[in-house]
A and B are shown apart, each in its own frame.
Chain A
């Protein structure tokens, strides 16, 4: 890989800019050698080693807000763009590589202070380099009875994940990571520092407690954007509950999908169910969240001849029902989680059963795992579904890795698309029919006869399509061609997607087409006002500064 230069910057000017940056952070923290810059490539790039791969030119790692401000001012002077990363663990969405080749990565990993944790009021204030593991360890070591909400991999940045619209697995208000934030500090493109919410009042005592402040609420402008560099962020944290209870509900019939989801909507929107609703299909072998690690490590079950015959003739999902009934295999399974006082959650589970028994008479129930808190750290390490208990882990990395059951070469990573469906079983059936066909047409193996949703966001179903990154450029080319097609087909059906790999952000943006793409155009107007020199992350989520939009012919 040859490191590219920023657009319209020659080698001498670039080296002069790096020297100027080194005057701020020290030569040790300006990475410009081939070997050091290569560590900022996207390890999961769908164009690894090809001309289309997005590549950094250099990297700088400041340690303080003041250093970030100084670098931003120099970047304006030298017209050298910066791509801020928190910990750069955004694998599958672009990792640490910039959205436009040649941008200098601004690595905030060294800004790793946990500035405050307030146990009584249930919040923290952290810097971008703080990972979920760091925050978890801090709470444990200090005996603070607060939980964090973690996404699948625990080594990412608490701030970075929220700014990338990440999500986790505890209660709805905490598992939506941006929604759980309260107060930001941002370095703007001209080097000024801004604090959102009541942080606008010097000495405010509610910066981490009241989200709105005065006037327009601007926190969202710094999400999926390139209008500023977030250097601090507050988050609300959940008090450790007294207990955890899991209730399992099994459904026998394909058509039960409709009341299954309707009742779940009521129970979750009423906060009867407080934890992550895990959706599995035993008949189709979809593992949901809680069966994923076992499936990745141990492989899917071996189907018998009768089942293989159904697969071979391309049977519709509903055609599997006689087989399921004859073999006593549930069609659908929900695992509901409840947190709280033991007496309360026992009642919530009982009420869940009452609602489902009324809606689907032959539904079946079983008790799942239960825990009383606190649990000790050794037990926490062994947890199968650690994120359901706010414990960081890395088990998701078995996805695409070498496994005893799978003789295939391990992948080089993965990418996703996550299409948002309304909370309605009919739409889930329709999405399976349309999207599975689209994937098949694109030559992409979609995995299951029927794709069951992930449910980190309340009120929508996440229809997740996983793409494996291959060692074979031809396979990766297929992926790169398929992704925009899937966005377009989904958009035609009213299924929006909200987050994607840097390589596909432009394509995804084009689906936000209402009123001649007014939202993307509004984003561009903000860019021109807030960062006229275009020195912050050009191309992130398709937002380019004016001079690069012209080059793109837009």
Chain B
């Protein structure tokens, strides 16, 4: 598992974060970037009505469990992703990127 911890190697963490960003850019950004008419952003704006930010990049409450659930289970019109698209290792990197907003 790749949850950062105090003794986590800094270089590995940067590499993981960068891989996660690449996964986000390829698979999530087209729907979830902070642009109002992107479909994921628009749907989450409607869902949370201002209680939470609509763009994934602005969220600080995303958990590893929820990200796994949505990527592998889909939600509403968002389909799930196969492992030839987002591998298990890619998914862990994505989780690191979305739950840990950047190497310190």
Contact = CB atoms under 8 A, between A and B. Distances in A.
A40 B81 CA distance: 9
Contacts of A402: 43-44, 46-47, 76
Given A39-B72, A107-B82, A403-B42, A397 B33 contact: no
B103 to A, nearest CB: 25
A39 B80 contact: yes
A155 B85 CA distance: 11
Interface SS of B by simple majority? loop
Interface in B27-50: 30-31, 33, 35-40, 42-47, 49
A398 B42 contact: yes
A410 B39 CA distance: 12
Nearest to B87: A28
Contacts of A154: 30
B79 interface: yes
Given A155-B30, A297-B36, A397-B39, A61 B84 contact: yes
Contacts of A297: 36-37, 42
Contact of B76 (A296, A384, A393, A412): A412
A39 B46 contact: no
A18 to B, nearest CB: 16
A87 B33 CA distance: 22
Interface residues of A, number: 46
B82 A96 contact: yes
Given A31-B83, A96-B82, A404 B46 contact: yes
A398 B39 contact: yes
Interface string B73-95: 01011111111110000000000
Contacts of A406: 46
B26 to A, nearest CB: 7
Contact of B26 (A59, A110, A133, A403): A133
B84 A410 contact: no
Given A401-B42, A404-B46, A91 B79 contact: yes
Nearest to A134: B26
A63 B29 CA distance: 26
A109 B82 contact: yes
A255 interface: no
B32 to A, nearest CB: 9
A404 B36 CA distance: 12
Interface in A283-331: 293-294, 296-297
B21 to A, nearest CB: 15
A297 B31 CA distance: 13
A433 interface: no
A131 B81 CA distance: 15
Contact of A411 (B36, B38, B77, B84): B77
Interface string A71-104: 0000000000000000110010001100000000
A354 B39 CA distance: 40
Contacts of A384: 37
Contacts of B83: 31, 36, 39
Contacts of A43: 74, 79-80
Given A397-B39, A403-B42, A39 B82 contact: yes
A394 B79 contact: no
A381 interface: yes
Contacts of A410: 43, 76-77
A70 interface: no
B31 A397 contact: yes
Given A109-B85, A133-B26, A154-B30, A398 B37 contact: yes
A113 to B, nearest CB: 15
A243 B26 CA distance: 29
Which of B33, B38, B46, B77 has the most chain A CB atoms closer than 10 A to its own CB? B77
A404 B45 contact: yes
A95 B37 contact: no
Contacts of B38: 394-395
Interface in B49-88: 49, 72, 74, 76-85
Interface of B: 26, 30-31, 33, 35-40, 42-47, 49, 72, 74, 76-85
19 contacts: A39-B82, A39-B83, A40-B82, A44-B79, A87-B85, A88-B82, A96-B82, A109-B85, A155-B30, A293-B37, A393-B30, A394-B38, A394-B39, A397-B39, A398-B39, A402-B43, A404-B45, A411-B77, A413-B79
Interface of A: 31, 35-36, 39-40, 43-44, 59, 61, 87-88, 91, 95-96, 107, 109-110, 133, 154-155, 293-294, 296-297, 381-382, 384, 392-404, 406, 410-414
Those 4 A-B pairs whose CB atoms lie nearest each other, nearest first: A43-B79, A397-B39, A410-B76, A109-B84
Given A155-B30, A293-B37, A395-B39, 20 more contacts: A36-B83, A39-B72, A39-B80, A39-B82, A40-B82, A44-B77, A44-B79, A109-B85, A110-B84, A297-B36, A393-B30, A395-B37, A397-B39, A397-B77, A397-B78, A398-B39, A398-B42, A401-B76, A410-B43, A413-B77
